[in-house]
Amino acid sequence: MGFTECLSLALSSIKTNKMRSGLTLLGIVIGVASVIVMISIGEGARQEVSGEWGDLGSNLILIQPDYLDADVKRGDFKPLRLEDADAIGELCSLVARVAPEAINRGLARYGSRHEEVTTIYTTSDFARVGGVSLKTGRFLNELDIIRRRRVVVLSSRVRERLFPGGNPLGRKVKLNGQGFTAIGIADEVNKGVTFTGDSTQDMLVYLPISLADRMIGSSAVSVILAQSTGADVIDQACEQIEAVLRRRYGASFKYKVQNLEAMVRAARATMSIFTAILGGIGGISLLVGGVGVMNIMLATVSERTREIGIRKAIGARRRDILRQFIVEAAVMCTTGGVVGIILGSAAARAIAGIAGWPALVSPWSVGVALFASSLVGLASGTYPAWRAARLRPVEALRYD
């Protein structure tokens, strides 16, 4: 008996027992959908990390306080200051640019509109180090810093909220009650450069760092970004920065100097493990569905014992019976896999839209889910098919 005939018999059996076949498919559908949703969420998270940090370049260095190591209450913690950024720029020969950030929160207002924003007090080098591009206008320059000009660069999102359909350049925007002239509109900004971890990361405004002490009452900086002269010397650049800071702070050195590319690689590896764990959780659901298929197939063999006896009596061989039931199980599981992929993809996108959590339905995850469902069908159908093939015609015909 050929494969085409086996397939025809399998489809005929599924149509004859619609309710039972539907319940059998349900377990596989849920299992495959779970695999798709879990892998898509994990893969989306991994891509989000790559998207936020991966485009910043392979020669970016992050310097920030080591809050885990420092004991603030004991008094051995000292925040980074603008002078530290100046020292790094002057004394580290392998550092091309330095951009300190003093990050705070504030209220931006224009007319009757107001929005909560993240304020980033920084220098002119931040545009190149942090990967900020402009839609219109200009970024901060050295004169803005030296002369402590009250100027501000707005992110695209802030412009949309405060000036819907309008041009803010040259207009006065109030930040925490004080007026600033808008000089530029930043394009979509890479969120990874602010390292704020809050929900207003796309609501950004950039101001001269020389105004930080007046606006937020402190000359401390939150983060210092540095760019090495090349990706091949980034480790040596990190060592130079550490040496400069150790000379400045001695025993009070409580800072992390991190190669961002290494951080991205570590984050990607973590997210890959996370994706594998989530896929494994979804795989357990698929395994449970496979057990259900095997139980249903065993019941099917019992119900069709007489049919098996008749077929054997008229010349069907063991391998024909074996192939028939394996194909039937594989068809049901593959069909369930296709339906599960469709439902899982829709569910992953719905979760991403509702929760704001990234989800990416990749071709490889669809392939894995489809292959897994077919494999489960073969595995689940093998034992019932083997039992059916072993039945003796005389005993099978006597079965009532």
Tokens 């990967």, located at residue: 131
pLDDT category of residue 293 using cuts at 50, 70 and 90:
confident
Block residue for tokens 């005993």: 395
Give, as one character, the DSSP assignment of residue 190.
P
pLDDT grade for 122, boundaries at 50, 70 and 90? very high
Q: So where are the chain's domains?
A: 3-52+265-398, 78-253
The confidence score (pLDDT) of residue 209 equals 94
Burial class from Cβ neighbours inside 10 Å (0-12, 13-18, 19+) for residue 395 reads exposed
Between residues 111 and 291, the one the model is more confident about: 111
- Average pLDDT for 339-359: 80
6-20, 176-190, 205-219: segment of lowest average pLDDT: 6-20
Of 298 and 193, which is predicted with more confidence?
Answer: 298
Q: How many Å apart are CA 50 and CA 2, to the nearest integer?
A: 50
Helix residue spans in 304-317 (DSSP H): 305-313
pLDDT tens-digit profile of 18-35?
777 777 778 788 888 888
What's the mean pLDDT in 206-218? 88
- Under the banding of pLDDT at 50, 70 and 90, the label for residue 285 is confident
Q: Which residues pair with 179 in a beta bridge?
A: 174
pLDDT at 74 over 60: no
Q: How confident is the model at residue 172 (pLDDT cuts 50, 70, 90)?
A: very high
**Of residues 263, 200, 216, the one with CA closest to residue 64:** 263
Q: Between the CA of residue 350 and those of 163, 274, 345, what are the distances in Å?
A: 31, 21, 9
Residue 378, pLDDT > 80, answer: no
Average pLDDT, the chain: 79
Phi first, then psi: give them for residue 201, nearest 5 degrees: -65, -25
- Compute the distance between CA of residue 361 and CA of residue 43 in angstroms, rounded to an integer: 8
Alpha helices (H) along the chain? 3-16, 18-53, 82-91, 126-129, 142-146, 156-162, 212-216, 234-249, 260-303, 305-313, 318-355, 363-390, 393-398
Exposure of 354 in the CB half-sphere (CA atoms within 13 A):
6
Could you tell me the pTM of the whole model? 0.64
Task: Measure the CA–CA gap between 278 and 382, rounded to whole angstroms.
Answer: 28
Ranked by mean pLDDT, which of 52-66, 155-169, 301-315, 352-366 comes out on top? 155-169
**Residue 76 burial (C-beta neighbours within 10 Å; 0-12, 13-18, 19+):** middle
* Choice among 152-156, 213-217, 390-394 with the minimum mean pLDDT: 390-394
Tell me: pLDDT of 262 over 80: no
Split at pLDDT 50, 70, 90, the class of 197 is very low
pLDDT at 191 over 70: no
Rounded to an integer, the average pLDDT of 314-343 is 78
